[in-house]
Amino acid sequence: MISKPAHLPALAAPPPLTKADLILLPIEDRLASIDGHFFYTPDVGKAVRSMKHVLYERTTSGLHTNIVMHGPEGSGKTSLAEHFLSQNPPIPADPISRQPVLFSKFSRTASARDLAHAVLASGGWPQVRNSNSDELAWVQIKLFLEKVQARLLILNHADRLIRGDTLSEKGLDLLEDLLDIAPCPIMIIGQDGFGDVIEKCYRLAGRFPLHLPISRMPCGKDWLETCNLLNEKLPFRTTEILTGEMPERLQIAAAGGTPDLMRLTQSASRIAIFGERSLELTRRHYLEAFACRPGRGPNPFDMIPLEKLRVAKQSTTAVPSRADVLWANNRNTSS
């Protein structure tokens, strides 16, 4: 089901407007009102609660819990990190704003200098890259995190540190050095199978005690509730989102990923609002939106029988192991 804990809304969005108010907005504002919606699925709700707890324990007790978040592409890991960042914005201070949460990413080279540049740049303090010293880079990262009083550093694309079926030696050294100097907890994000990679690494397994898996949603009660919430927030008098087979067709089109559902809905809404100045969002608008995305297989909104779509979906998603796919993708990436 959609996670609805007392302290978290089921859907976090811009200031709420009634459907009647949304319909009366100017065309540009109607489309803009679709941006910013964020879904609390069960996995996401648990992850948000855990991340909040890490922030709280760091502030109150000084405990230091590092996190691994992992899940398939399109499941919402980056969207979750960006949402959490927006919920913990910088706090103005002199001479430098306090930043409780920082969100950066690993480059394709396991380099302390590149990491320092990315972390400082994410906090609005670009690094002058004129030094060949890794030691100086670590000092810069440590001092910067202390200055902004960071309580959590989130690093995306951690699976770029994988070579073959394990972490590269350079990647492993980079993570260990980062953990040694960081004054705050670290959360690393990778694709499906990345949690297994960390668990297999005896030098890191104990240093990342908290794992947060994020999954896609199958077509069921959770997905129907998501479609219902989305339908309530869209600036249309009527939609066909909940009509007949549409929920399952949407699930197949988005592969159960709520970020992809939102992107598809934004494209369909753009066709309806800008192309037709319509107050209705129909299956045909989704049909046209999906057709603009090459390489996605049969168009689920083209009234192909659902059974054929299910068979096509199973044939394209059946893989020996998601971890094997992750490792294979990285095996061909130069160090």
Instruction: List per-residue pLDDT tens for the chain, 335 residues long.
Output: 333 334 433 444 445 778 888 888 888 888 888 877 787 788 888 999 999 999 998 888 878 899 999 999 888 899 999 999 999 999 998 888 899 999 999 988 888 999 999 999 988 887 655 567 888 899 999 999 999 999 999 999 999 998 877 888 999 999 999 999 999 999 999 999 999 999 999 999 999 999 999 999 999 999 999 999 999 889 999 999 999 999 999 999 999 998 899 999 999 999 999 989 999 999 999 999 999 987 778 899 998 888 888 887 776 544 434 444 444 454 444 33
Q: Compute CA 330 distance to the chain's CA centroid, rounded to the nearest angstrom.
A: 20
Q: What is the pTM of this model?
A: 0.81
Percentages helix, strand, coil for the chain (3-state, rounded to 5) are 50, 10, 40
Pick from 172, 187, 154, 194: nearest CA to 70: 194
Q: Is the peptide bond before 294 cis (omega within 30 degrees of 0)?
A: no
